A and B are shown apart, each in its own frame.
Chain A
Amino acid sequence: MKEEHFIIIGMGPSGTKAAITLRKQAPEARITILSKDAERAFTPHMLPDFIAGKILEKDLYPYDPSTWDDLDIHIRRCQRVTDVSPGNGHLLLDHREVLRFTGLILAVGGRPQIPEPYLPFQDLMSTLKTVKDAKQWIEKLEGVDSVLVIGGDLTSLAVAKALLHLGKKVFFLINEDAFWPLRYDMDLMRKVSERLSQGGVEVIPSGKLGGLFRNANGKTQVRIDDRTLQVGMVGTFFGLAPDIRFLARSGFSMDRGILVDEYLNTGFEGIYATGDCAQVYHPGLRDYWVSIGYENALNLGRIAALNLAGRRVQAKVSGESIFKVRGVNVNTSWWVEF
């Protein structure tokens, strides 16, 4: 009998949850998690608290290293997948190793995206995705008294809160062209602006970012409309762009993420996508949505694993907590938590 080998690409919250769920469903199966990073699995949503000094680094890691041995889940770090052949049931690693699978879960997550108009300034912009990024934030913040936050994703408000906690002056650029929901709601924007202002953030509404440069005293000067702002640091939070370019030749339907059905299936038998990289049509919205946020990631990871194991569980989301960011509907309720 052919050995069951489930591979999960990605060791973020969704991928790890999928692996643990799979182990429960398939006690005898071989389970492998492939991660392109060297880092341990961590909780990305807690990074702002780590920056704020509210938690220690060890609190970022939800699993003890022995967890994986105990569950007989094989972790392979620093493994970059370069291609997946859904029909043949194998994938290729960049050192030319071929891995065969009987089931695959794509939980590749994303990397911080910077909208194309801002790419020329990216060297002056800090993003926050990994523990290493968070440590860099901590280091930079030591000599900084003010920060400009650009972008409206889940992390942006949590970081703004962390910065306020550290006593930093926080500017928040609200710019419908660049980072706010594409077809945004003025009422929602007003509410969010009010909430930010009440929290002590200086909101710069409807500003058009003209350029960034670093001046002689190491500060960053930001041109917004006719105004020039001088800040110690600029953080950008435009959400995560699913890291799926390596799948371009694999035959998956891809848009911003990997298009999946309501069961998170990619259209290929035994291959599911979950977390930040899965994009599914939502009848209530009449649009495709992606799910971001820790709880959503765990939920989708669990559903993908259950379905791979033979169940038929639908991924559901409540309509009220869905917003549109850069053309994609995202499932989260972040702003009310500020």
Chain B
Amino acid sequence: MTRKADPIQSTRAEDFDYMKVNVPCQDACPVLTNVPAYIRAVYENDFTLSYNINLESNLFPGVLGRICSRPCESKCRHGEKELGKPVNICYLKRAAADFRDRQVPRETLIHHRISKNVAIVGAGPSGLAAAHDLALSGLSVSVLEAMEKPGGMLYYGIPAFRLPRAVLTEEIERVLDLGIDFRPGIRLGKDITLAGLLKDFDAVLLATGCYHPRRLNIPGEAFDGVFSGLQFMMDLNSGRPPRVGKKVLVLGAGFTAFDCARSALRLGAEDVSICLRRTEEDLAVTREEVLEAKREGVRIESLMVAKTILGNGNLKRVEFIRTRPGLPGTAGKREITTIKGSEFVLDADTVIAATGQGPEPIPILDERTPEGIVTVEKGSFRSPVAGLFAAGDYVTGPSTVIQAIAAGRKAAAAIVTEMTGRDCRERVVRIEDTVTTDRPRTWDFLPTLEIPTLEPMQDRFDINPKEVELGYAEEQAQTESKRCYLCYLHYEIDIKRCIYCRYCIDVAPRDCIKLVKRMTTNENGAVTGFEETSVWRDVNGIIIDNSRCIRCGACMKICPVDCISVSKVQLLERPIGRAEEA
């Protein structure tokens, strides 16, 4: 790691490699949100700064603070085996959105206006993210949306009790206010053709998402009383609540399944069960989601898969077969096998099959897969058709909101490069001197703070949907923020000055400081490994293993010769040509 007294903006590969390993939360975020910085801002009671740090990367902090899949938390160093539980990063994002100054400064153009126009088909998270970046890059942007409201799955796929519409609308309007021409109620293939769009616009980005429910492919699927999870939620969020019976079975294991189950209870169902192929332990939804669903009365039944829907045109019962999980495969997911002769039947008035969805075929040009889906080059988002790009769930299949935003932003960058011949944003690693942490070690032992939820329970079933998760109070957010180790701090030993007293090793709370025989680096010069030794004559250096370091600063405080320094290392994005503002 290169260090200078003044802050430097590094674009060296070794520094990017360092960030990847040493700030795992930021690296796990598809849009590389600067997590330690915004958590620190919460601690410093600057919720507006925290919100703005989020805004730079993920564009919808208020929304994501409620519904993000939280890849950062699963990588949080505080969640490592002997270190307790991850920081509730997502709740802190929400706190930033809840307590910020409501007057967000208007974003300014990165470049002067360019006389090029781009049509984006689909106003979901991917399309809106692309629209945001393209508009700021000076292009004229039109967003065409088949539905009445912008937001895509955010609006039509997620219930209001999880994501209040006021929060969603405010953050979408902030994007559309960048001068974007939003055209609702226009369906590609019906109201317009792709050929027409390609003629009228310099570039077209398909971000139409996944609105094609995956079929169960079992007998009885077309019976009355059987819904797809997607259609169920879309009807509900369009103001046409579906009629549900007393006993509802939801087939599926994702957030949509939970949304459907919890919504069914709000629509009057009395007995709602989510039926899983695997087990509750294998669920990808958050622990809080499972708890709240159960508290509301949803039952979770595991190790079963629907085989036949029984009835005479009307749903009566569902025949299931038991499953058996194997050991986790290489991807961590368990293989499931059915158990021969284990069929059993459950009564049901309503079945909701929330088993996923795929992109809708677009009746267009020849350059597509046999299913009618346009294919694109990985990374460039460019299709074989000149001027045609595609991104988001339409390309990848169902993903998370944060992945869709990342895809939209990357696609926008590719379009800008194609339109202007140059990049308009770049990533830099900003390295600056700082003081050692002011976190007392006791903060490492603070328990996680659960998020308050709506009580009493009957209030959740009010005719007007109320948000269930209430969010932290300001003081709670600050308390939770104390738990963050601030992994963007980088501690380093100057071995030229070190006297090898090993006091630092003695005070280290875990094995993060090591006597080494030799180190290995990758082709970029980043340290990738080291050979530790306990034989004194073999010691050629002493290093801080930043992937193990919890940034307690104890080593720096005890060093008798002040040979340990600390710097703040942040991965940022800046407009090219405006480096001084990064």
Binding site for B on A (CB under 8 A): 82-83, 92, 96, 115-117, 119-120, 177, 182-183, 211, 248-249, 251, 253-256, 259, 267-268, 281, 283, 286-288, 327
Contacts and interface: CB of A to CB of B under 8 A. Distances in A.
A327 B301 contact: yes
A287 B344 contact: yes
A251 B327 contact: yes
23 contacts: A82-B82, A83-B81, A116-B294, A117-B295, A117-B297, A120-B455, A248-B281, A249-B81, A251-B328, A253-B326, A253-B334, A255-B279, A267-B327, A268-B327, A281-B324, A281-B339, A281-B342, A286-B342, A287-B322, A287-B344, A288-B322, A327-B300, A327-B301
Contacts of A286: 322, 341-344
B83 to A, nearest CB: 11
A259 to B, nearest CB: 7
B300 A254 contact: no
A243 B465 CA distance: 36
Contacts of A254: 279, 281
Nearest to B341: A283
Contacts of B294: 115-117
Contact of B297 (A177, A256, A267): A177
A184 to B, nearest CB: 12
7 tightest A-B contacts by CB?
A116-B294, A255-B279, A116-B295, A254-B281, A286-B342, A253-B325, A286-B344
Contacts of A287: 322, 342, 344
A117 B326 CA distance: 32
The B interface is mostly helix, strand or loop, or mixed, namely: mixed
B273 to A, nearest CB: 8
A287 B345 CA distance: 12
Interface string B276-313: 00011100000000010011110111110000000000
Given A92-B81, A96-B82, A255-B281, A281 B322 contact: yes
Interface string B109-137: 00000000000000000000000000000
A287 B321 CA distance: 9
A256 B325 CA distance: 13
A123 B355 CA distance: 39
Contacts of A259: 279, 324-325
B457 interface: yes
Contacts of A256: 280, 302
Interface size range of chain B in the complex: 20 to 34
Given A116-B294, A117-B457, A255-B280, A182 B299 contact: yes
A183 B273 CA distance: 12
A82 B341 contact: no
Contacts of B325: 253, 259
Nearest to B327: A267
A281 B303 CA distance: 10
Nearest to B280: A255
A117 B81 CA distance: 31
B126 to A, nearest CB: 33
A268 B328 CA distance: 12
A327 B298 CA distance: 12
Interface in B77-124: 81-82
A253 B457 contact: no
B509 to A, nearest CB: 11
B322 A119 contact: no
Contacts of B334: 253
Contacts of A288: 303, 322
B342 A255 contact: no
Interface string B59-93: 00000000000000000000001100000000000
Given A117-B457, A281-B322, A327-B300, A253 B295 contact: no
A249 B297 CA distance: 28
A182 B294 CA distance: 14
Contacts of B322: 281, 286-288
A119 B343 contact: no
A82 B281 contact: no
B295 A119 contact: yes
Contacts of B295: 116-117, 119
Contacts of B456: 211
A182 to B, nearest CB: 7
Contacts of A281: 322, 324, 339, 342
Contacts of A120: 455
A82 B296 CA distance: 31
Contacts of B82: 82, 92, 96
A120 B453 CA distance: 11
A288 B300 CA distance: 14
A296 to B, nearest CB: 21
Nearest to A182: B299
Nearest to A118: B295
A283 B321 CA distance: 12
B319 to A, nearest CB: 11
Contacts of B297: 117, 177
B282 to A, nearest CB: 9
Contacts of A248: 281
Contacts of B303: 255, 288
A21 to B, nearest CB: 27
A327 B299 contact: yes
Contacts of B81: 82-83, 92, 249
A209 to B, nearest CB: 11
B279 A253 contact: yes
A305 to B, nearest CB: 23
Nearest to B81: A83
Given A177-B297, A255-B303, A283-B341, 19 more contacts: A82-B82, A83-B81, A92-B82, A96-B82, A116-B291, A116-B295, A117-B457, A119-B295, A183-B346, A248-B281, A253-B327, A254-B279, A255-B281, A256-B280, A286-B322, A286-B343, A286-B344, A287-B342, A287-B344
Nearest to A253: B325
B41 to A, nearest CB: 32
